[in-house]
Copies of this chain bind each other. A is one copy, B any other.
Amino acid sequence: MALEQSLAALSLATVSADSSAVDTKTLVFKPKTAKTATPIPLFVFALTATQTPSSYIAKAAGVKEPRLANDELVQEFFATTTKEVSIASLSSALAGKVKLVVDAAVFKAAETDAVLKLTTESSGAALPAKTVVEFLKSTGIELIEVDFSVEPAAAAAPAAAPAKKEKKEKDSGKIEDAKLIGITYDKEKDFSSWYTEIVTKGELLEYYDVSGCYILRPNSYFVWETIQDWFNVKIKSLGVQNTYFPMFVSQRVLEKEKDHIEGFAPEVAWVTRAGSSDLEEHIAIRPTSETVMYPYYAKWIRSHRDLPLKLNQWNSVVRWEFKHPQPFLRTREFLWQEGHTAHLTKEGAQQEVLEILDFYAAVYEDLLAVPVVKGRKTENEKFAGGDYTTTVEGFISATGRGIQGGTSHHLGQNFSKMFNIAVENPEGADKPKVFAYQNSWGLSTRVIGVMIMTHSDNKGLVLPPRVAQNQVVIIPVGLTSKTSDEQRKQINEGAEEIEARLKKSGVRAIGDYRAIYNPGWKFADWELKGVPVRLEFGPKDLAQNQVTAVRRDDGSKYTIKLEELEQRIPEILDEMHNALLSKARNDFDAHRVKVDEWKDFVPTLNAKNVILSPWCGDADCEDDIKDSSAKKDNGEDEEVDEKAPSMGAKSLCIPFEQPELKPGQKCVKCDKLASTYCMFGRSY
């Protein structure tokens, strides 16, 4: 009989063995016994990952030389073979006849919502660890718990050893009491592994078999759709129209603007073959669309009355970077919007640059609850081929690194002169023709990475309420074996009604009525997936006409009268948004440190801060700051982020909001007078 059916026969409902289920093993040992005595077999149940030396088993069970049992013995006691034996073979009939030896890790798992995978050679099933332990206890068989991580003769081992082991675990960033189905790395200690776990277990993203490309799963794509909807309304109010230009660019067109293409050329992907035919002219995939679009701007703009021309497209671009890719932050193909506008006047163009930048800041702050600093890029860091670049800059507290959030460029007349985007002078045809003043601006799916890094924690993803595909999950609670059918029905129906009412009122609600999981398991599962608010509905709630709400970010609880449901939930979602933003802003503010003296620069940087320093504005000095703040191989600091172990501080932006420069204030690095405060930091 297959395992799942056996378990069913024992009234142990099985669950889906998803990837987070933990493997277990079942072994039967026969201790050395006097030949005349009936042996008492040891039934050992442990996590597969646990090493179970027979010497430990012997000590714990007080037996001698236990050896793996043969089929004959297993058949005698458990009516099956060694390969098919499982906990389904246990019953109270065996009490007194066999002993159970159970790995302590199984009991630990039973304190969480972990699911165990049970396998025999021919079949498999999965059960909550809780259920397994309850079942084992219910058999009445003598049960011996063994902590295999502790040597039974511990006193014999040098005292230093366990301490050393503990230290190693800490350094590894592994969370010691991690729930087995959830996040196992600590955000503060191993950010990189933590991030990988969050994006995959939070079902935001899947790794893909072409390096540097990733699948955006519905949980993250929904965030992007929400941003699209919001941003479309904003830009359309400015008269921007959406459009779609081809992804392909001919070599001739791509290379028309030299400064511009220089920045992209090493990363351009080229199509050279179609079917089995080699193409005569190789075709590039757009890394951005300036040179794709502007020849047509020249064609469409014939008179000053055709200005401003404001177009935007949502598409994907390809930059075949050879550096280490990172989900959302650095990917070879990414989704973005790129706006390209042409104006009659410099003033008109410059005004729009800032309007768009405000929209970008609002995407971060009003949708994603991520604070940003608005400013202007230095000459070194501006968009190649443009006049100047404005930016919103974020901050990843866990690594102390800055991150560019979105950029709005004023291109001046550089491209319009190159592509001849010109109109007759409105002041008279005898005056020189006017080249258009252009902007381009882009925001990519990188925003999702910044959002994840900012809010999520060691329990999993934390989704800001306004972009969460599921804002609220409703879970029936308090149903036990003593619950009457009538009450069970009322609670389930009550939960469903709450779900329906919320949906009707525009809240993105989902109900979790799966009977096979207990509430604790569900809580952990939805916490992992980042749902902002959990609603618990149980007997007490039913009796009192209320529901209990728990916020994902800080666990705060609310009791909500059902008649106030539609009013309170949106309020709680907003409270959570504000709390997330405020927490992150305090964090950013605390780690944006004003440093006037160079001696404080690197230590402040190494303490995971970004820095505001008076600066001369000189490009060479900027390079010098970067070089001088790069980690040297002298072991003087403890930075462990292997992705940027020795990165110097780049200029992030010259913030629009400036501290006042003291008269005579020198540059933080060189002897020249400072012209501005600039924000520096290690960055993504």
Interface residues of A, Cβ cutoff 8 Å to B: 1-5, 16-19, 123-125, 206, 208-210, 213-218, 221-222, 224-225, 241-250, 253, 265-277, 282-283, 285, 295-296, 299-300, 302-303, 305-306, 311, 315-316, 318, 320, 322, 332-333, 335, 424, 428-430, 469, 514
Q: How far is the CA of A273 from the CA of B322 in the complex (A)?
A: 13
Q: How far is the CA of A249 from the CA of B316 in the complex (A)?
A: 15
CB distance from A140 to the nearest CB of B (A): 28
What residues on B are CB-neighbors of A218 within 8 Å? 241-243, 311
What residues on B are CB-neighbors of A245 within 8 Å? 208, 215-216
CB distance from A22 to the nearest CB of B (A): 15
A210 touches B273 (CB 8 A): no
Q: How far is the CA of A217 from the CA of B300 in the complex (A)?
A: 11
What residues on B are CB-neighbors of A430 within 8 Å? 1-2, 5, 123
Q: How far is the CA of A263 from the CA of B295 in the complex (A)?
A: 36
Assembly stoichiometry (copies): 2
B213 touches A248 (CB 8 A): yes
What residues on B are CB-neighbors of A248 within 8 Å? 210, 213, 332-333
Known: A16-B303, A123-B429. 8 other contacts (CB 8 A): A4-B428, A123-B430, A216-B243, A216-B245, A218-B311, A221-B242, A225-B242, A271-B272
Q: How far is the CA of A2 from the CA of B428 in the complex (A)?
A: 9
Interface class of chain A by DSSP: mixed
CB distance from A423 to the nearest CB of B (A): 9
What residues on B are CB-neighbors of A311 within 8 Å? 218
With A242-B225, A316-B247 known to touch, is A270 a contact of B266 (CB < 8 Å)? no
Q: How far is the CA of A136 from the CA of B224 in the complex (A)?
A: 60
What residues on B are CB-neighbors of A2 within 8 Å? 428-430
What residues on B are CB-neighbors of A268 within 8 Å? 274-275
CB distance from A506 to the nearest CB of B (A): 14
CB distance from A307 to the nearest CB of B (A): 11
What residues on B are CB-neighbors of A316 within 8 Å? 247, 315
What residues on B are CB-neighbors of A249 within 8 Å? 210
CB distance from A23 to the nearest CB of B (A): 14
Of all chain B residues, which has the CB nearest A7?
B429
CB distance from A380 to the nearest CB of B (A): 22
Pick the residue among B123, B275, B296, B303 that contacts A215 (CB under 8 A): B296
A270 touches B273 (CB 8 A): yes
Q: How far is the CA of A244 from the CA of B223 in the complex (A)?
A: 12
Q: How far is the CA of A209 from the CA of B242 in the complex (A)?
A: 21
What residues on B are CB-neighbors of A241 within 8 Å? 218, 221-222, 469
Of all chain B residues, which has the CB nearest A281?
B210
Q: How far is the CA of A271 from the CA of B222 in the complex (A)?
A: 30
B246 touches A271 (CB 8 A): no
Of all chain B residues, which has the CB nearest A302?
B18
CB distance from A476 to the nearest CB of B (A): 17
B429 touches A295 (CB 8 A): no
Of all chain B residues, which has the CB nearest A3?
B429
CB distance from A587 to the nearest CB of B (A): 30
What residues on B are CB-neighbors of A16 within 8 Å? 302-303, 305-306
B18 touches A214 (CB 8 A): no
CB distance from A610 to the nearest CB of B (A): 31
What residues on B are CB-neighbors of A296 within 8 Å? 206, 215
A303 touches B216 (CB 8 A): no
What residues on B are CB-neighbors of A428 within 8 Å? 2, 4-5
Q: How far is the CA of A247 from the CA of B315 in the complex (A)?
A: 11
Q: How far is the CA of A5 from the CA of B267 in the complex (A)?
A: 50
Of all chain B residues, which has the CB nearest A219?
B241
What residues on B are CB-neighbors of A322 within 8 Å? 274, 277
B270 touches A274 (CB 8 A): yes
Of all chain B residues, which has the CB nearest A277?
B322
Q: How far is the CA of A469 from the CA of B208 in the complex (A)?
A: 38
B270 touches A333 (CB 8 A): no
Of all chain B residues, which has the CB nearest A19?
B302
B273 touches A272 (CB 8 A): yes
A244 touches B215 (CB 8 A): yes
What residues on B are CB-neighbors of A303 within 8 Å? 16-18
A244 touches B335 (CB 8 A): yes
Q: How far is the CA of A557 from the CA of B320 in the complex (A)?
A: 57
What residues on B are CB-neighbors of A469 within 8 Å? 241
Sample (6) of A-B pairs whose CB atoms are under 8 Å apart = A5-B429, A17-B302, A248-B332, A267-B274, A270-B273, A275-B320
B271 touches A270 (CB 8 A): yes
Of all chain B residues, which has the CB nearest A208?
B246
CB distance from A269 to the nearest CB of B (A): 5
A209 touches B244 (CB 8 A): no
With A209-B295, A283-B210, A306-B16 known to touch, is A125 a contact of B429 (CB < 8 Å)? yes
Interface pairs A-B: 7 shortest CB-CB: A16-B303, A218-B241, A274-B320, A213-B246, A266-B275, A216-B244, A4-B429
With A215-B243, A335-B244, A429-B125 known to touch, is A209 a contact of B271 (CB < 8 Å)? no
B221 touches A243 (CB 8 A): yes
What residues on B are CB-neighbors of A266 within 8 Å? 275-276
B274 touches A271 (CB 8 A): no
Of all chain B residues, which has the CB nearest A203?
B300
